[in-house]
Amino acid sequence: MKKEDIPQDDGALNKLTKEVVYAVDSAGNYTTELSTGWKVKTTALDLAWEDIEQRIENARQKVLNNEASPILFFIELRLMDVGIVSAYTGFWKWIIKQHLKPVVFKKLSEKKLIKYAEAFNISVEELKTMTVHEA
Q: Show the 3-state SS of 13-38.
A: CCCCCCEEEEEECCCCCEEEEEECEC
Tens digit of each residue's pLDDT (9 = 90 or more) over 118-128: 999 999 999 99
DSSP 8-state class, residue 93 = H
What domains can you pick out in the chain, each with its CATH number? Answer: 3-37 (no CATH), 41-129 (1.10.260)
- Could you tell me the CA-to-CA distances from 41 to 7, 34, 35, 61 in Å, in that order? 11, 15, 12, 30
Residues whose CB falls within 8 Å of the CB of residue 58, separated by 6 or more in sequence, listed in order = 76
Tens digit of each residue's pLDDT (9 = 90 or more) over 17-72: 777 878 888 888 888 888 777 778 778 888 999 999 999 999 999 999 999 999 99
Confidence class for position 15, pLDDT limits 50, 70, 90: low
Return d(Cα 103, Cα 73) in angstroms, integer.
16
Which residue, among 49, 33, 30, has the nearest Cα to 41 in the 3D structure? 49
CB 41 within 8 A of CB 49: no
Return d(Cα 107, Cα 25) in angstroms, integer.
64
